[in-house]
Amino acid sequence: MYKRYLIISLLLVSIISCTEKKETTDLSALKSKGDSLIAQTFDTLRNTLLSTIGEKGFPGAVSFCNTKALSLTNTYAAEGITIKRTSDKLRNPANRPDNMEQEILSAYLQMKEDKQELKPVLKKDTEGNHHYFKPILLQAMCSNCHGDKNTQIKPDTWEAIRLQYPADAAFNYKEGDLRGIWHLTFLKNKINGPN
């Protein structure tokens, strides 16, 4: 009798540890997929911005810091992945954060204040979708449109921004500041991740 219990418990333990192992492997696959999609989107966005700045100058490039304009975004959507950028200080009100994003933003801002390193976050919602968040830090070239409005954003660029985004709050950032976050959603039924 005792032996049978022992065998059953051993079996249970091995089943549980097996599923746990599978879950970690799949989550790390999601993370690396998330990292490469974000890197690809950022590169495309940056290159589009840089070439438009070259052609039309900063005021003419003002409409090009927008992920929705990228055809990449549609390609991801077909795979069940959405990509969004949001911030606590917005230029475009349509990028406003939802509850989960608000939570991540507040946590990152607190970590910045405490001089901690900002690490990516992977979360699962109650419906089983996975969410991947990464910080967006301000780089030198971004200051032309998000930096000090008196010294870094040129008057003609400022005018173009004000005209298109009257409610703009995304300026006066310094290099290294938390400009916002990336948020990738992997829809449950579309990916081969854990359920």
Q: Quick check: 172 binds ligand HEC (CB under 6 A)?
A: no
Q: Which is nearer to ligand HEC, 121 or 142 (CB)?
A: 142
Question: To the nearest whole angstrom, how small is the minimum distance from the Cβ of residue 172 to ligand HEC?
Answer: 13
Return the closest-CA partner of residue 133 out of 186, 169, 72, 171.
186
Interface residue with ligand HEC among 34, 135, 147, 180 (CB under 6 A) is 180
| Exposure letters 142-161 (e unless 16+ CB within 10 A, then b) | bbbbbbeeeebbeeebbebb
The radius of gyration of the chain's CA atoms, rounded to the nearest angstrom, is 21
d(Cα 47, Cα 58) in Å, to the nearest integer?
A: 14
**Of 131, 134, 146, 183, the one binding ligand HEC by CB under 6 A:** 146
Residue 125: what residue type? D
Q: Out of 30, 58, 118, 135, name the contact with ligand HEC by CB under 6 A.
A: 58
Name the nearest CA neighbour of 57 among 171, 137, 138, 145.
145
d(CA 5, CA 16): 16
User: 77-96: which residues touch ligand HEC (CB under 6 A)?
Assistant: 85, 87, 90-92, 95
Rounded to a whole number of angstroms, the minimum distance from the CB of residue 84 to ligand HEC is: 9
- Compute how many other C-beta atoms are within 10 angstroms of the C-beta atom of residue 138: 18
Q: How many residues touch ligand HEC (CB under 6 A)? A: 24
Asked if 183 interacts with ligand HEC (CB under 6 A), we say no
Please state the closest distance from residue 138 (CB atom) to ligand HEC, in A. 6
**Between 170 and 191, whose beta carbon lies closer to ligand HEC?**
170
Is 30 or 160 the residue whose CB approaches ligand HEC more closely? Answer: 160
